[in-house]
Structure 1
Amino acid sequence: MKYKSIMAIALSAGMLACGSGKEKTEDTNEAPLIGKSAIKITDGVMTPEALYSFGRVSDVQVSPDNAKVLYGVTYVSVEQNKTNRELFTMNVDGTDNKQITKTPKSENNAVWVKNGSKVAFLSSESGSSQIWEMNVDGTDRIQISDVNGGINGFTYSPDGKKVLYIKNVKYGERAVDKYPDLPKASGRIIDDLMYKHWDAWVEEVPHPFIADFDGEKLVNDLDLLEGEPCESPMLPSGGIEQLAWSPDSKTVAYTCRKKKGLEYALSTNSDIYFYNLDTKETRNITEGMMGYDINPTFSSDGKYVAWQSMERDGYESDKNRLFVMDLSSGEKIYVTENFDYNTDFAVWSKDNQSMYIVSCVEAKTQIFQAYIHTKEIKALTKGVHDYESFAIAGDKLIALRHSMSQPNEIYSVSTSTGEAAQITHENKEILDQITMGKVEERWIATTDGKKMLTWVVYPPNFDANKKYPTLLYCQGGPQSTVSQFWSYRWNLQMMAANGYIIVAPNRRGLPSFGKEWNEQISGDYGGQNMKDYLSAIDELAKEPFVDKDHLGCTGASYGGFSAYWLAGNHNERFKAFLAHAGIFNLEAQYLETEEMWFANWDLGGSFWDRSNSIAQRSYANSPHRFVEKWDTPIMITHGEFDFRILASQGMMAFNAAKLRGIPTRMLIFPDESHWIAQPQNGILFQREFFRWFDQWLKK
């Protein structure tokens, strides 16, 4: 149920289009090149249009000589309803920053190759996503691959003689395969589970391929999963990080859950496999480890392989552990055994005796150093922000960092002191025009005597002598931390800029506060975590600047479930609700969703198992069972391509509100999934979001 927010948004009359007229091609029918925005903000207020003007910095790569940084920036055009990604280089200290591409087709998966003399990347310039190479200054672009159907990701072997790439292959039998005389028949013949996943019908799956590379083109392509109806990397979000080359270029490690259909739907048990290029043999190195095992990475000396591992099958939110295997002895080392937090990203140190890891602790994501043999975990950075990923450059880490008040920028972090210096300023021109609200960390007492970190975001130019309408933000996941995240849909600063105080609790069931806090929610939907929400809003409602008569509540996914549940259990606290992609009827959800392991673990099992007390408690707390107590306006939004939580859940909630005579509105996106990805749909969502709450919460 975990989700990532991908937002987008539309031009108002006063906003300038991304790019400039100078970038038009000679064909006047072609749209302007999508590039850096020149938006002008006159009142300092963040609007949806301003939010979608930010350049989105990603994918930092350091050159082999540790002198240069390669990265990408994604720009949005609401007018064209799409995005475009360009590439940049700079010195490791941030100087000599140059844009090296300027094309209408995005450049993705960019990496240094050929000892740093070239940059390789993916582009659909030729009609499908293929590997290209160019000089470091962006000149002399040459297409390297010509793979039928295109490539999703790639990595060159260390010796440069082979390329490992990801390509989708056909999965299952289509109607036209069985009945060739019906080529236009659109029906899907389904005999097993996992026929849909997140936002797509499962008719193809990604496979890893190896090809020989002579420096100019790929030949002798080999599918490592030939004939296996499995996926590697794993859907929906796995990429090239789930595969790795050994330093001697003789072994490929890949992540795979070698299951299909019902078995796949019930299990999270993936493994790390080694494929030996010489012997053509495949070996499972995590046999007997029953949860997710993902993201293998070899030490530079070839003596070790590290990966992230969860312990229990069926539990997708288990502690994400760091494991290392000594390849000579086969010994497995649980490096973070004494560290009660997740490992979200890991890179080997220069001496291969430790790893730098990203981990979220008390809702702030920092970089730590994990020592392999002593299992010591040492905090390297501190502060109110989230580090996302990084690459090593000598004695520095070149890292992506964001906060609730700033989108991703690149920082140089000292490996000895943790001191950080910002070296990109992609969004300075926009940020300089916006007044951000204060972000405050509060620790609030819960009903069971614990302390809960709650972020409070104040409106810009906050006046303590005034009273403000206030929104309770309910997090999705359900086990997804309310950290210092920056979102292009659930942006707390933009909510605050519209004149609201935002209350964002790290309620029970969220990581970064230890295993006990994280796991409490499983089997207790509608239980302690809802009490936590009410504790947070009740505490803030005591403040003289909070208008306790105009409180609202919103959230997506499990946050949408929370809004539905609270709508029937809030005792007149709130004056308006908004739920996006939320679960309304848990019994229906159990049979509608695709990842059955999730429903079995979090709900405790099926609703027909009357002897299962945990499951029966879960279904007794389904929001639809409290509709008779709904008494407050509620808005519902949902995407019809959401195969995680079907749009029927939102439609049921809307119909129930209408039949109960509750003021309600529904915003349905026929072409969106669990997220809202298209720019103009993103703008529409934001405009309707504030139109709804302004109607009910502002005097």
Structure 2
Amino acid sequence: MNKVSVLTCAICMSLNAFAQEAREMRVDRALITNKLHHLEKDVMTPEKLWQLGRVSAEGLSADGQFLIYGLSNYSFGENKSEKNLFVVPVAGGTPVSFTDDAGGASVVEIGKDGTVIYLVNGQLWSKPLQGGEAKQLTNIEGGLENVKLSPDGKHVLFSRSVLIHPYHSVDKYADLPKSNVYIYDNLDYRHWDTFNNGRFNHPFVASYDSGTLGDPIDLLDGEPFYSPQAPFGGADDFTWSPDGKAVLYVCKKRFGKDYATTTNTDIYRYDLVSKTTTNLTEGLKGYDTHPLYSPDGQKLAWLSMKTDGYEADKNDIILFDRGSTTRVNLTDAWDGTVNSFIWSNDSRRLYFTAPTKGTVQLFAIDLSSARKTKTPEVQQISEGAFDIGDLVGETARGLVVSSTTMTRAAEIYIYDLAKRSLTPITHVNDEVFDNLAETKVEGRFTKASDGADLFSWVIYPPDFDPTKKYPTLLFCQGGPQSATTLGYSFRWNFQLMASQGYIVILPNRRGMPGWGVEWNHAISKDWGGQPIQDYLSAIDDLAKEPYVDKARIGAVGASYGGYSVFMLAGVHEGRFKTFISHCGLFDMTSWYGTTEELFFANYDLGGPYWDKQNEKTYTTFNPIKHIDKWNTPILIFQGGKDFRVPVGQGLEAFQAAQLKNVKSRLVYLPEENHWVLSGHNAQVWQREFFAWLKETL
């Protein structure tokens, strides 16, 4: 090599070195700037999480100009929340307080004249939308629940608890008022978090005149059935016919063992004149819910599942045309499942929400294309890094909806159908979130063990530096057919987890809606199979990244997610350093013998443990059968009033871990069910959760 070449090469090397140094300086400067930016901002904490206002849409004025929304604020001192109502222009503006009552207020009806009828502590009140004096309309002993006024305002529909069977000893033996004994001859002896005391919620209709109710009529005539549905049904289970001459209500008219082993709810029509009841969904075998008439009164739509016992079946929209008396499944050919729907103001379209590809989006059906033998096309009309929640109504400006992201709690928005954009109407928590350091959320695809494409959400710490290594959490979703989307949780809050310095990955494993009906169904009878492999594939793929500390990976989850944690504890082969399970299923045999909604166990597990065809469920896919491989620290949360995954599951798992000398901790919440509802208990939950991670990860 000659001197010129050597000199040229040296110059090139110097220039390259200088360029590299400049790049590194720019990177360092960017990192320093980023860190300084985050130093100026807060991060999410358990305390901040419960200080957020919780927003719920209540209704729109008849002209679509004003929104009434509910705002619940939690008091740490009183350990309870109080909900009040506010009015804000849909076009944007300053909210005005509408109620300031102790307890919780909810809108029943917003009249065309601007009169708002609302419910507080079981009594009806009225007040002008634009403000003024509130007037109490009723003062009924025991109060009213799930109230709906007839279109002409002359009748009121509501629910009330009725004693049908004296299961509780104080009802059976009047001379033993201090006894506390329950006596059963059938199943459905307990549900969710409550033992059956023989009282059933029934729909009632009464005449209504200036706050005075006539003698109520029990539409179930003293039968042992629930309407609204137990335990989470509400006013959506009721509706009036457009002419006010009939009532529609949702009910599963089954009792005892039959009630516990079926999902076959139907929609019934009660005629006020003839006092006769007709089953409108005769022959439909699964859930039939949410009946809703079109604004023009000519059509009725509802949600329907085809398969009896399969609570996570594809949810379709059924349309009944009163003129042609035809019944059409509008979404039969569409490869998805519906969350909720509303009518357009002109009765020509249906808007609905559905999970899709890790989010929940808006869809529409144009009914003008529907024919007797042809179902209309389903159109997706929103797309973005957000979830659409409640559908409130249609205005000239667009659809009023609630929306969340993984880093923003629910607010109310206008979705502009032309621009396909969201504009906020409420700004309840803006100040809090605007002062939080940004938490990056990204989508990621992995090849599953069977070659399928597996999507995950990944959340990074606010000060994420790709040159560093971070402890990482695999989140295992419950359900098991619940979607992992961009919702905002007040317990399993991924913004909060990331803000404590963890990377979190949320795989959309087999069983989750949003990736087609087949993907959604694939988990049934395969709980411990491919879905568990999906979790392993996702975490193994993420662990290849240089910023993941492979020596500090944990797995956390609740319900089926807790089951997944128990399963992973026996099959992970050293991948994880710690586990956290909340209300997880540990022994499928004892779980089948004590859980209450047996239709779920019969469909998803295949049936009882004594049936040989279900052997794999109770052996290979049973966490207790892999206890010999448990050697990793595990924290176990268990609710004392959880009847879906009864207390024995958590106690069995903790006792096994202790006897095997596995580092373990039990956090028992005696007053909580499958969830954690008390604010103080939720704070304990968070503190124990993060203390365990700090201690073991």
Q: Trace 1:269-668 onto structure 2 (pairs within 5 A).
A: 269-372=264-367, 373=370, 374-395=375-396, 396-610=398-612, 612=613, 614-668=614-668
Instruction: Return the alpha-carbon distance in structure 2 between the equivalents of residues 350 and 631 of structure 1.
Output: 60
Q: Which amino acid aligns with 2:193?
A: D
Deviations 1:444-478 (A, max 9, x none): 11011111110000000110011000000000000
Deviations 1:203-256 (A, max 9, x none): 222211112221333223222112111011111211101111122111211111
Look up the SS of the partner of 2:489 in the other structure: coil
Look up the SS of the partner of 1:628 in the other structure: helix
Shift of 1:275: 1.0
**What TM-score, normalized by structure 1, do the two folds share?**
0.91
Instruction: Return the alpha-carbon distance in structure 2 between the equivalents of residues 111 and 185 of structure 1.
Output: 39
User: Does the 8 A contact of 1:603 with 1:615 survive in 2?
Assistant: no
Instruction: Return the alpha-carbon distance in structure 1 between the equivalents of residues 545 and 72 of structure 2.
Output: 41
Which shifted more, 355-364 or 650-659?
355-364
User: Does the 8 A contact of 2:263 with 2:310 survive in 1?
Assistant: yes
Instruction: Return the alpha-carbon distance in structure 2 between the equivalents of residues 167 and 59 of structure 1.
Output: 25
**What TM-score, normalized by structure 2, do the two folds share?**
0.91
User: Does the 8 A contact of 2:589 with 2:618 survive in 1?
Assistant: no
User: Does the 8 A contact of 1:606 with 1:615 survive in 2?
Assistant: no
Shift of 1:412: 0.7
Aligned partner of 1:156 in structure 2 is: 149
User: Does the 8 A contact of 1:155 with 1:163 survive in 2?
Assistant: yes
Q: Trace 1:45-60 onto structure 2 (pairs within 5 A).
A: 45-60=43-58
1:102 and 2:100 aligned = yes
Deviations 1:359-412 (A, max 9, x none): 111121111111231521111111011111122243321111111010011111
Look up the SS of the partner of 1:568 in the other structure: helix
User: Does the 8 A contact of 1:335 with 1:371 survive in 2?
Assistant: no
Q: Which amino acid aligns with 2:437?
A: T
2:120 aligned to which of 118, 123, 126 = 123
Cα separation, partners in 2 of 1:219 and 1:80, compared to 1, 3 Å: same
Q: Which amino acid aligns with 1:345?
A: S
Instruction: Return the alpha-carbon distance in structure 2 between the equivalents of residues 394 and 472 of structure 1.
Output: 42
Instruction: Return the alpha-carbon distance in structure 2 between the equivalents of residues 599 and 84 of structure 1.
Output: 37
Q: Trace 1:34-49 onto structure 2 (pairs within 5 A).
A: 44-49=42-47
Aligned partner of 2:174 in structure 1 is: 180
Shift of 1:309: 0.2
Q: Which amino acid aligns with 1:77?
A: S
Instruction: Return the alpha-carbon distance in structure 1 between the equivalents of residues 155 and 94 of structure 2.
Output: 32
Aligned partner of 2:15 in structure 1 is: none
User: Does the 8 A contact of 2:400 with 2:414 survive in 1?
Assistant: yes
User: Does the 8 A contact of 2:446 with 2:541 survive in 1?
Assistant: yes
User: Does the 8 A contact of 1:243 with 1:254 survive in 2?
Assistant: yes
Aligned partner of 1:69 in structure 2 is: 67
Look up the SS of the partner of 2:602 in the other structure: helix
Q: Which amino acid aligns with 1:142?
A: K
Q: Going by fraction, where is helix more abundant, 1 or 2?
A: 2
Aligned partner of 1:212 in structure 2 is: 207
Cα separation, partners in 2 of 1:619 and 1:597, compared to 1, 3 Å: farther
User: Does the 8 A contact of 2:60 with 2:110 survive in 1?
Assistant: no
Instruction: Return the alpha-carbon distance in structure 1 between the equivalents of residues 394 and 607 of structure 2.
Output: 48
Aligned partner of 2:683 in structure 1 is: 683
Look up the SS of the partner of 2:259 in the other structure: helix
- Work out which of the two has the higher radius of gyration on C-alpha atoms and give 1 or 2: 2
User: Does the 8 A contact of 2:413 with 2:423 survive in 1?
Assistant: yes
Look up the SS of the partner of 1:564 in the other structure: helix
User: Does the 8 A contact of 1:101 with 1:138 survive in 2?
Assistant: no
Q: Which amino acid aligns with 1:668?
A: Y
Cα separation, partners in 2 of 1:76 and 1:194, compared to 1, 3 Å: same
Shift of 1:615: 4.5
Instruction: Return the alpha-carbon distance in structure 2 between the equivalents of residues 139 and 685 of structure 1.
Output: 43
Aligned partner of 1:11 in structure 2 is: none
User: Does the 8 A contact of 2:193 with 2:641 survive in 1?
Assistant: yes
2:186 aligned to which of 184, 188, 192 = 192
Cα separation, partners in 2 of 1:106 and 1:177, compared to 1, 3 Å: closer
Q: Which amino acid aligns with 1:626?
A: H
Shift of 1:178: 2.9
Q: Which amino acid aligns with 2:120?
A: S
Cα separation, partners in 2 of 1:116 and 1:666, compared to 1, 3 Å: farther
- Of all paired residues, the percent bearing the same amino acid is 42
Shift of 1:642: 0.6
Look up the SS of the partner of 1:592 in the other structure: coil
Shift of 1:151: 2.4
Instruction: Return the alpha-carbon distance in structure 1 between the equivalents of residues 75 and 558 of structure 2.
Output: 25
Instruction: Return the alpha-carbon distance in structure 1 between the equivalents of residues 286 and 610 of structure 2.
Output: 26
Cα separation, partners in 2 of 1:642 and 1:421, compared to 1, 3 Å: same
Shift of 1:114: 3.5
Instruction: Return the alpha-carbon distance in structure 2 between the equivalents of residues 161 and 107 of structure 1.
Output: 23
1:202 and 2:196 aligned = yes
Look up the SS of the partner of 2:534 in the other structure: helix
Shift of 1:66: 1.4
Shift of 1:156: 1.4
Higher relative contact order (CA closer than 8 Å, sequence separation 6+): 1
Deviations 1:179-216 (A, max 9, x none): 22211110100111011100111222221111222133
Q: Which amino acid aligns with 2:148?
A: T
User: Does the 8 A contact of 2:62 with 2:111 survive in 1?
Assistant: no
User: Does the 8 A contact of 2:443 with 2:455 survive in 1?
Assistant: yes
Look up the SS of the partner of 1:61 in the other structure: strand
Instruction: Return the alpha-carbon distance in structure 2 between the equivalents of residues 111 and 617 of structure 1.
Output: 46
Deviations 1:114-158 (A, max 9, x none): 42432222212xxxx222222325543333233433322111112
Instruction: Return the alpha-carbon distance in structure 2 between the equivalents of residues 171 and 685 of structure 1.
Output: 39
Cα separation, partners in 2 of 1:436 and 1:191, compared to 1, 3 Å: farther
Aligned partner of 1:22 in structure 2 is: none
Which shifted more, 226-235 or 558-567?
226-235
Instruction: Return the alpha-carbon distance in structure 1 between the equivalents of residues 615 and 218 of structure 2.
Output: 42
Look up the SS of the partner of 1:577 in the other structure: strand
2:158 aligned to which of 151, 162, 165 = 165
Aligned partner of 2:81 in structure 1 is: 83
Instruction: Return the alpha-carbon distance in structure 1 between the equivalents of residues 217 and 525 of structure 2.
Output: 45
Instruction: Return the alpha-carbon distance in structure 2 between the equivalents of residues 96 and 460 of structure 1.
Output: 31
Aligned partner of 1:20 in structure 2 is: none
Instruction: Return the alpha-carbon distance in structure 2 between the equivalents of residues 60 and 414 of structure 1.
Output: 20
Structure 2 residue runs of 5 or longer lacking an equivalent are 1-38
1:134 and 2:127 aligned = yes
Deviations 1:596-645 (A, max 9, x none): 000010110111112x1x45344431111111100100000011011111
1:265 aligned to which of 252, 260, 265 = 260
Deviations 1:7-66 (A, max 9, x none): xxxxxxxxxxxxxxxxxxxxxxxxxxxxxxxxxx97511000000111111133111121
Superposed CA RMSD: 1.5
Cα separation, partners in 2 of 1:113 and 1:410, compared to 1, 3 Å: closer
Shift of 1:691: 0.1
